[in-house]
Structure 1
Amino acid sequence: MKLLHLNNMYKKISYITALMVVLASITVEAQITTQSPYSKFGVGNIKGMLLPQLKAMGGISTGVYKPYDFYNNTINMQNPASYAGIGLTTIDIGLSTNLVTLKSGSIKENNFNATLSHFAIGIPVNSHSAMSFGILPYSETGYQFTNRLDLGNGQQADYIYAGEGGLTKAYIGYGYRIGHLNLGANAEYTFGNLLRSRSTELVVDPTVANNTINSRMQDKNSVGGINFSYGLQYDIALNSKTSIIIGYSGSSASKLSSTTSNVVTQYRKDGTTELTAIDTLPGSAAVEGKLKLPLMHNFGFTVQKMNKWMFGADYRIGKWSEYSVHGVNQGLQDTYGVSVGGQITPDFNSIGNYFDRVDYRLGVKYDKTYINLQNQDIKQMAITFGLGLPLARNINNQAFYRMNFSTEIGKRGTTNNGLLQENFINFHLGFTLNDRWFRKFKFD
């Protein structure tokens, strides 16, 4: 019996390891995962280290510790102190899709993208500590827009700006509980490529032969390095089931290795189709330096009744005015944001009514981003909601399954002063497995 259990456990570990390698390769190769002109700035659109069950509550995380007594553990890598509450081996994997409508004046454009979003594992070490590791996106870049200028003599030129790529985080962390205090930390490896290009194309009649030679310069920034995040939580029991959890989490300012290079390409077009490049030359030798990520702080709390309901709020700030590439400040602003949300589970032990066992989640969030254009701050706001749907569970094996679905509906930016507004709907789907893998048997 013991050997059979160990064999099954090793099969699960091998399967998960292989799945994680595949997910990592897909995450690295699938570069274009968003269509947002605002992702041109900084490292792109920041994703945050949040699973769908937290995104559905407006993104609260700092004070989220252990909403459930035993089953349905949640991996909250945004505050590694919460790992101390993981009592079962927990696996979470998911995907995200987003629909974006871009508005500028009377012009509208719709875009749709989908990508695998995260893979995370939590493993209890003993009764008061646990570890977690996984991989998920940190930022995404994806945009293309054109400015048409009149060169005189009836001649026009299109200046096309495009970008793709993003940064990914692979992390490993540990959380420990001492009395009512949880402490935790993550070691994170942040890596990826940020690609940005500028093309110049003369405007000609697409119905006639086009012998015009166009040019493009592409800049590539390859980034990789280690940074750290940390957190603490303190819970105050109001009674045997109800408590208040106060939390803090943050990430240290860090300098990642950065290698920049650029390539100049000359090409022709057949109508609207780009032909094979005529010539490609390196613009300059690769330059090595540092990309400096800023100090981040998160403060929050939750009030919860175990297995019943939870309500909380977060406040976050980021020193993005200190962001620099190769020692050059990029002119970004400091950020701040607020999230408020919660969930309710009518009766998690209900047998006769499935919907009483469902988690119902709702939240709102607001952020001032690090972008300022024409002396106007670019802000983002959204309402969020979602469900935690219990799946068939194996009581004897103490295995519990859940599907978490969340939706974010919001906007970024404004159409005032000729600026661009993004209206977005983001869908997130995650599958959670909680199982007791590492058990000691008294009899062989």
Structure 2
Amino acid sequence: MIRTKAAPLLILLLLFFASETTWAQARISSPYSRYGVGELWYNNYSTVLSGMGNVGLAIRSDNYLNIKNPASYTGFDTTSFLFDISGLGSYNTLKTTDISQGADYASLGYILFGTPITRWWKASFGLIPFSNVGYTVYDEKEVEDVGNVRFIYEGDGALNQFHIGNAFQITKNLSVGINASYIWGVIDRRRRVTFPDSLSMLSTRIDNFDHISDVMFELGAQYFIPLDNGMEIGTGLVFKPGMQLNATRKYIAQNYFGSADQNLELPRDTVAYNPSQKGTLDFPMGFGGGISLRKNNQFLVSMDFNWRNWEQYKSYGRSDSLQNSYSFHLGGEYIPKHNSITSYFHRVRYRLGFRYENTYLEINNTPIKEFGISFGLGLPFRRSKSMLNFAFEFGNKGTVENNLVQENFVKFTFGLSIYERWFIKARYR
């Protein structure tokens, strides 16, 4: 028979999270989300891995999903059904040389499923955020014969992805995989020019509504080398080919009376309007590699490196002054005694990690860097491979030099990894 004790719960959760009203995006507040497609979500793809510095390219598991490398899906067995779900909260402090302010947000994270197709073919699917946009930036200048001129830049929106992944066991030690993701969403960017010192001059507002909808792919491979004493070395590679995502932009430019500060805008005339400008977002190629050392049910240490050619990114044929990015990740996990019957805390998984990233942003000739230190816990269920996971990360992004903003952040991620045996044949009839 097929054991489906958790089936009703999983189906209800899928319907709940997939609904348009509940699959809401985080209302982030980051001036750096103004560039590219916003703040990318790739550092939040797994609560387990977030607690280990977001490593994962050379890691596979039989009780949680690792979508950082699609080849990892061969890690779960042929009788299991996996379900992962998460939520995220963050508190950021935005600081310049003059002022400091706080911002917080909370969001639903990912919802993922994993299932075997055959003994050598495993699959994964689910919903994951792709990027978020949320910013308001003011810039004021004194212009001769005009007075004070205020420039306001605002943006909000998000891109999501529906993910389908497949992994294939080629040999005992080698597996390969592919992720296909349908990307969709809307990003709204607004620019205003206002004249606070003048009652007669018209202000100008320009709106760009970008609707993105297309498919992206990612390839991966893993190779594991068994050693003595139950240890193994793992290696992993991923490749992201350059892709063009189809997009449609609604563009409108208007002159108006009033002030955005007072939420009073009286349109005077429309200067330009295009309801459906067709274009593409040109995403560049990238690759990553990782290595791991594991002793099953005792410890894991892993290291990753990623690089992407963001200088080639274009939006509607125009570059966005991005730079190539690279990141380094180091992390691990320790289990004191996985089968202890005297102490629950000996069965808990303790995680620690570090990451450093030279992001795709370079502003005022200053590269924007990001780093984080993380730790996590995996709390096992009794007599089950299911687990409740927590991850905490402390770090910062950017700098206060050259009139820029430094973001200090504290992130908290929680996730539930459910392992169920669904495909067990009955012994008796």
Q: Same fold (TM over 0.5)?
A: yes
1:33 aligns with one of 24, 27, 37? 27
Counterparts of 2:146 and 2:259, CA distance in 1:
21
Task: Determine the structure 2 residue equivalent to 1:193.
Answer: 186
Query: Is the CA contact (8 Å cut-off) linking 1:90 and 1:435 kept in structure 2?
Result: yes
Query: Is the CA contact (8 Å cut-off) linking 2:215 and 2:245 kept in structure 1?
Result: yes
Task: Determine the structure 2 residue equivalent to 1:352.
Answer: 342
Instruction: Output the aligned Cα RMSD.
Output: 2.4
Deviations 1:16-73 (A, max 9, x none): 4413422x6544x53x53111111111111221621110111111100113xxx6xx1
> Partner letter of residue 122 of structure 1?
G
| 1:106 paired to 2:98 | yes
Counterparts of 1:257 and 1:368, CA distance in 2:
28
Query: Is the CA contact (8 Å cut-off) linking 2:388 and 2:416 kept in structure 1?
Result: yes
| Distance change (3 Å), C-alpha of 1:350 and 1:331 | same
Task: Determine the structure 1 residue equivalent to 2:12.
Answer: 15
1:256 aligns with one of 245, 252, 266? 245
| 1:299 paired to 2:262 | no
After TM superposition, the structure 1 stretch with the greater mean CA deviation from structure 2, 262-271 or 130-139, is: 262-271
Counterparts of 1:350 and 1:9, CA distance in 2:
26
Task: Determine the structure 2 residue equivalent to 1:370.
Answer: 360
Task: Determine the structure 2 residue equivalent to 1:411.
Answer: 396
After TM superposition, the structure 1 stretch with the greater mean CA deviation from structure 2, 276-285 or 365-374, is: 276-285
Query: Is the CA contact (8 Å cut-off) linking 1:9 and 1:437 kept in structure 2?
Result: no
1:221 deviates by 1.3
1:211 deviates by 9.3
After TM superposition, the structure 1 stretch with the greater mean CA deviation from structure 2, 312-321 or 126-135, is: 126-135
Counterparts of 2:58 and 2:93, CA distance in 1:
33
> Partner letter of residue 441 of structure 1?
A
Counterparts of 2:101 and 2:162, CA distance in 1:
34
After TM superposition, the structure 1 stretch with the greater mean CA deviation from structure 2, 11-20 or 141-150, is: 11-20
Query: Is the CA contact (8 Å cut-off) linking 2:16 and 2:22 kept in structure 1?
Result: no
SS of 1:167's partner is: strand
Aligned residues: percent identity?
29
2:318 aligns with one of 307, 325, 328? 328
1:298 deviates by 0.8
SS of 2:12's partner is: helix
> Partner letter of residue 246 of structure 1?
T
Counterparts of 2:73 and 2:410, CA distance in 1:
30
Query: Is the CA contact (8 Å cut-off) linking 1:213 and 1:266 kept in structure 2?
Result: yes
1:443 deviates by 2.8
Aligned length: 424
Task: Determine the structure 2 residue equivalent to 1:246.
Answer: 235
1:419 deviates by 1.8
Task: Determine the structure 1 residue equivalent to 2:426.
Answer: 441
SS of 2:345's partner is: helix
Deviations 1:217-238 (A, max 9, x none): 1111111111111111111111
1:283 aligns with one of 273, 276, 284? 273
SS of 2:386's partner is: strand
Query: Is the CA contact (8 Å cut-off) linking 2:84 and 2:417 kept in structure 1?
Result: yes
Counterparts of 1:172 and 1:204, CA distance in 2:
55
1:76 deviates by 0.5
| Distance change (3 Å), C-alpha of 1:270 and 1:227 | closer
Task: Determine the structure 2 residue equivalent to 1:54.
Answer: 49
Q: TM-score, normalised by structure 2?
A: 0.92
Counterparts of 1:224 and 1:413, CA distance in 2:
30
| Distance change (3 Å), C-alpha of 1:213 and 1:374 | closer
User: Which ranges in structure 2 are unaligned for 5 or more consecutive residues?
Assistant: none
1:327 deviates by 2.2
Task: Determine the structure 2 residue equivalent to 1:431.
Answer: 416
Task: Determine the structure 2 residue equivalent to 1:233.
Answer: 222
| Distance change (3 Å), C-alpha of 1:328 and 1:90 | same
Task: Determine the structure 2 residue equivalent to 1:93.
Answer: 85
> Partner letter of residue 18 of structure 2?
V
1:365 deviates by 0.7
> Partner letter of residue 227 of structure 2?
L
Counterparts of 1:223 and 1:214, CA distance in 2:
29
SS of 1:126's partner is: coil
Deviations 1:386-416 (A, max 9, x none): 111123x3x4xxx543111111211111112
Task: Determine the structure 2 residue equivalent to 1:132.
Answer: 124
Task: Determine the structure 1 residue equivalent to 2:113.
Answer: 121
1:201 deviates by 3.2
Counterparts of 2:232 and 2:82, CA distance in 1:
24
After TM superposition, the structure 1 stretch with the greater mean CA deviation from structure 2, 8-17 or 312-321, is: 8-17
SS of 2:66's partner is: coil
Q: TM-score, normalised by structure 1?
A: 0.89
| 1:44 paired to 2:33 | no
SS of 2:106's partner is: strand
1:13 deviates by 5.5
Task: Determine the structure 2 residue equivalent to 1:78.
Answer: 68
| Distance change (3 Å), C-alpha of 1:315 and 1:26 | same
